[in-house]
Structure 1
Amino acid sequence: MKTKLLVSLFSLPRRTLLERTPLKRDQGRGEPGHVRRLKSGAMAVCLAAVWSAAGGSLTTDFSTDPGGTLLGKAKVDNGILKLQDLQELIDGTSSLPMFGSYVFPTIDAGQKVASFTADFKVSIHGGTETPAQGFSFVLASDIASLTDPFREGGATGEGSGFSQGLIVSFDTVDNLPGFGANGNDPGDAPGIIVRIGGQRVAAKRFTGLRTGPPNDQTPVFVPVHIQLDADGTLDVVYNGTKVYDNFGIPYAPIAGNFGLGAGTAELTAAIRANHWFDDMTITTTTVGAGPVLLSALPLGTSVRPDAIVEVEVDNLGGATAQVQFDSQTVQPQTNTVGTVTTVTYDPPGSLAPGSTHNVTVTYGGNTLTWSFTVLNATIIPVSFAAASNTVDTATTGFKVRVHQLASAAASGNTFQRAEDQLAGKLGPNVADLTSPPANPDGSFDLDLINMEQTGSEAGLFNATEGHADSLIPGIPGTTVSDDNIAMEVRGYLELAKGVYTFGLVSDDNARLTIGPDPRDATAARLIDITIGTATSTVLVDGDGIYPFRVVWGEGTGGANLELWTVTAAGTRILLNDRVTAGHVKVYRQLKAGIQTPPYVSLAKPAWPSSSMGSNTARTCWATATRWTDGLRCRRSFSCSGTGMTTNGPTATSTRSRYGRAQ
């Protein structure tokens, strides 16, 4: 009667079974799953039995729709859940992109899921030689209300709109740097990526995701097994290969829905594949009496160096909480408001860039163990700061130069083209320097960098949240065109010792550098993208005012640029947005009469393109270096410069002058 009652309650078709089930034993082992975990894994210790209670299950072979929600291109057809059907593209009844997702009916009626096992069959076939983009399996509280499909990364947009639940992403193709990538960071795919709370907590390369050949609509199904135990350990088995084995993740029980999402690439001739599913079974246990984990931080593989450990537990009662950090017992701080206890531990100093740390929290007889990795932040030495009392702190904002060509340059749409264009090497400037009126030197003074060529909304800031886009100064130019633009943005950042995350949105290319003179070829290159959204986290060695520069270029089509920071809480704030708490101040210029020192304007071979990371010493890579000092240039034919060394001993430069005589 219980099964029939729930089937009636959810109005499910005959071939879909939805029932309450007790905690299952592992098949063929004769012991409860939590006991096997205790024996087999050191990553996490099982939680006390009070954690889990009877849960539910859903079984369907998709002979009919099991009563969920179809989004985008998804459909149930011929006994198969098809998140997209490329036959529609072949027949001309649909077009790219083809995004689809399916949200299953609620299994546990609002109860938090402590553990689950999901078994299903998937076919990734047809389409192009390179399949794209993959699919995601999601448990979340925020997918039932969606009207747009979530995709292979569990997100509705390019690098945004991630579900805050648990996402297991089976991503078939790597994404280019600078593109938001619905599911992966560059280098993750093909592979299986795990996200919690929108943060990437694990990624493992796996090349066996495609199951059937390209250009063939015949499905080839393989089995997939996903198991999450109540101790936060995860198994993922794909077509017999165990990719994740008893892998500890900071999972906090979720009340929500299970779902599947998938997508293709977006261009007319883009890479693509079918993502079809059959024979789905999901079995859960729910949270019982006793303490309940609400959240565990930090999450992921790109954690800030100033991160703190923070765990929230409901119904801890009179029990205590203990924390181990990197296997050492530490003294946490606890604070209880109502029934929720927050346990925090702040590691001393800043965590080393690229380091991995393990956390074990024991509370009320339960234990959770997980790890996180600090992103490989660039170290900004205090020597990069402007000399004391040289920056005009009475000014605010940015100095901006805009150059526009009447026609496209033969050198294409690249950073070097933008540099050459700004230097006047590619033709006269046809930007309109009268609207708004430019400074006598042809530059513009701006308070914020949040601009679009027509003033339309673009990027992450907009009028709705209080920051309408401004026009790009001087555009449209005197030829009434808004193409072939190059722009330089310069300013002086007031930074305290600590961690900062800088970000930008750009269409097209942008490069952000910081250094004593950010035009210098040896300046730290924080961001360098051809288009899209990017961030860079830095460790600032000391308080100071740091010169920075952005070179931006646009060819044709869209044109926009935003510059911002991200706080430790994840809030984006436009640079120099002085009315918003937590902003970074930017000053426009040096004081009158202050001369800038010579800088290296060219180095061949090029200075390392990536940021310096933790290596604060300068390594000279140049065999020919051009030093620029105002109108005077000097050429060096040996490694040179204050603070620079060769791979051997310190080198002294040999310079010969050219250009205007001193």
Structure 2
Amino acid sequence: GGNADVPAGPTDVNDGEIHHLVLVSDPDGGEVRLYVDGELESTGASPAIQSNDNPMMIGENPDARNRTWHGMIDDVGIWDRPISEEEVALIYNDGEGTALVSQSSGDAIPYVSKLSAGPGGFGFRVADEPTIEVDVDSIVVSVDGADVAVAKSKEDGVTTVKYTAAQPFAPNTEHIMTFSYVDTDGKARKLEKGFKVKDYTMVDAGAMVDSSLKGESGFIANITQISTGQSGKESMHGNRSANAEKQLNGEYIDKDFEEPYLNEADLDAEEGWSYYPVIVEYVNQNQNAYEGGVENGNFTSANGYPDEEIPGIPGWYDSTDGIAGEYLTLLQLDAGAYTLGVNSDDGFRATIG
């Protein structure tokens, strides 16, 4: 046994669907690898091997009981060695499942890795086996029974297939993808796979603005702060988006004066609620950056994006608490599907339109 934590990755497995999870402990490689639905999700430090009398448990922690798994578990397998990424993909086989066993006769057939689908289309990979390969020119893909044009290429025995939808798939819709090909033995093979397009926001064309509104690139940052110095509370908004909107709108009233609190991030504020807009090139801010604090998140000095100070913070009372900010920008986007993300250790709400 041993103890090790593997960080959660970007895939939402708490979506009511069945997922395939593989955890590989690789002491020689010095890491633990988590795979979700055939793809590497995250890694962590390899645990120190420990010998004890605790029972092996699945869905429960023998070192800290009563933290049971809430859900279904099926088809559990354990190997006495670290299995490879290719073997993980083979076991998953795009949700169809393939047993990882030694075969006394016959050759393994090429297998399909995770089908990654979204509003704008989908993509997948097919890995050749030593004696059986995919004929790229023979590939035919259909969606909901209709053949579609796909981009296909092959490198180092791996065929990549990508489909770009002429019109985005509608939110919350289910579809069937059929993939057919001929292998080097001349045998025709076919895989049928369903996929679901999750909910997403459609941007109405009416949200388009005139090009005359274009200005400098970047974001307008409207930062506000009501700290303990004014309110006696560490935070008025309590890290809730609805309350943060209330603070941004200047709706918190100082009962002693029956007037809105002042914005401590606006050094010129004297009476009434106010903003001091600042244009920033990108948003990668840390409330402790002003004092050389530890950098956080995915973007740091190591990859050319050092943490920056939050404009106006610390405010009048030299505090870094009670902050609520909004960042506004115009996007120039061609028609199509886009994924926009926010990474924050506090609450946030993103809107478009």
In the superposition, the TM-score normalised over structure 2's length comes to 0.63
* Residue 246 (structure 2) pairs with residue 412 (structure 1): no
Partner of 2:306: 468
Partner of 2:297: 459
**Structure 2 CA distance, aligned partners of 1:298 and 1:370?**
8
Which residue of 375, 391, 398 corresponds with 2:198? 375
* CA spacing shift, 1:323–1:470, aligned 2, 3 Å: same
Query: Which protein has the bigger strand share?
Result: 1
* Residues 528-562 of structure 1: per-residue CA shift (max 9 Å, x gap): xxxxxxxxxxxxxxxxxxxxxxxxxxxxxxxxxxx
Query: Which protein has the bigger helix share?
Result: 2
Deviation at 1:348, TM superposition (A): 3.2
Partner of 1:354: 172
* CA spacing shift, 1:326–1:311, aligned 2, 3 Å: farther
Contact 1:432–1:475, Cα closer than 8 Å, also in 2:
no
Q: Which runs of 5+ in 2 are unaligned?
A: 7-19, 42-58, 68-72, 78-87, 253-260, 269-273
Partner of 2:55: none
Which residue of 239, 242, 265 corresponds with 1:431? 265
Deviation at 1:231, TM superposition (A): 12
Deviation at 1:483, TM superposition (A): 0.7
Deviation at 1:357, TM superposition (A): 2.0
Partner of 1:249: 95
Which residue of 284, 288, 294 corresponds with 2:101? 284
In the superposition, the TM-score normalised over structure 1's length comes to 0.36
Which residue of 38, 41, 55 corresponds with 1:196? 38
* CA spacing shift, 1:334–1:441, aligned 2, 3 Å: closer
**Structure 2 CA distance, aligned partners of 1:319 and 1:390?**
48
Which residue of 110, 119, 126 corresponds with 1:305? 119
* CA spacing shift, 1:198–1:358, aligned 2, 3 Å: farther
Partner of 2:330: 492
Which residue of 232, 247, 255 corresponds with 1:421? 247
* Residues 369-407 of structure 1: per-residue CA shift (max 9 Å, x gap): 322211211111011122x244133x1211112222231
Question: Who wins on radius of gyration, i.e. which is larger?
Answer: 1
* Residues 492-525 of structure 1: per-residue CA shift (max 9 Å, x gap): 121221111111122322122223xxxxxxxxxx
* CA spacing shift, 1:358–1:216, aligned 2, 3 Å: closer
**Structure 1 CA distance, aligned partners of 2:66 and 2:156?**
59
* Residues 303-355 of structure 1: per-residue CA shift (max 9 Å, x gap): 32112344434333598333343234455554445655444444432222222
* CA spacing shift, 1:292–1:304, aligned 2, 3 Å: same
**Structure 2 CA distance, aligned partners of 1:357 and 1:494?**
30
Partner of 1:526: none
**Structure 1 CA distance, aligned partners of 2:247 and 2:154?**
60
* CA spacing shift, 1:288–1:464, aligned 2, 3 Å: farther
Over the matched positions of the two proteins, sequence identity in percent amounts to 24
* Residues 183-232 of structure 1: per-residue CA shift (max 9 Å, x gap): xxxxxxxxxxxx22157xxxxxxxxx6799x9689xxxxx96448xx997
Which residue of 137, 140, 143 corresponds with 1:325? 143
* Residues 549-584 of structure 1: per-residue CA shift (max 9 Å, x gap): xxxxxxxxxxxxxxxxxxxxxxxxxxxxxxxxxxxx
Q: Which runs of 5+ in 1 are unaligned?
A: 1-69, 74-98, 101-135, 155-162, 168-194, 200-208, 218-222, 235-246, 254-281, 435-439, 516-662
Deviation at 1:149, TM superposition (A): 5.1
